[in-house]
Amino acid sequence: DAGITQSPRHKVTETGTPVTLRCHQTENHRYMYWYRQDPGHGLRLIHYSYGVKDTDKGEVSDGYSVSRSKTEDFLLTLESATSSQTSVYFCAISSEGHSTDTQYFGPGTRLTVL
């Protein structure tokens, strides 16, 4: 599974608390992505990274921030969680070059905000 892990796998938190999700990869992929998955919406891109300390916004970035201080780790932070951020969060990776641009997904994190 492309050496991608996510932690935690499940989390329940309360409105207004900060939450950080971690994506870790072991194969030196350049690109990393955070998605959220909600019924009826498929997978929506939150933020992505194209290198260490290089990140940019996706479709649904409001309320989220990211950081990538090392190639292998991409962190997603909800500064003050809201109930609308209850979702399943997937991290994905891909590499440069034709035929290596496929995205592979991590196992997901189920986040519940009460």
Partner 1 sequence: GENVEQHPSTLSVQEGDSAVIKCTYSDSASNYFPWYKQELGKRPQLIIDIRSNVGEKKDQRIAVTLNKTAKHFSLHITETQPEDSAVYFCAASWTGGYNKLIFGAGTRLAVHP
Residues that bind partner 1 (CB under 8 A): 1, 31, 33, 40-45, 48, 50, 56, 58-59, 90, 94, 96, 101-108
Q: Which is nearer to partner 1, 41 or 70 (CB)?
A: 41
CB of 16 to partner 1, least distance (A): 29
In the chain, what are the helix, strand and coil shares in percent, each to the nearest 5? 5, 55, 40
Q: Which is nearer to partner 1, 24 or 44 (CB)?
A: 44
Q: Which is nearer to partner 1, 27 or 56 (CB)?
A: 56
Strands 10-13 and 109-113: parallel
Which amino acid, one-letter code, is at 49? S
Which amino acid, one-letter code, is at 41? H
- Residue 45, classed as helix, strand or coil, is strand
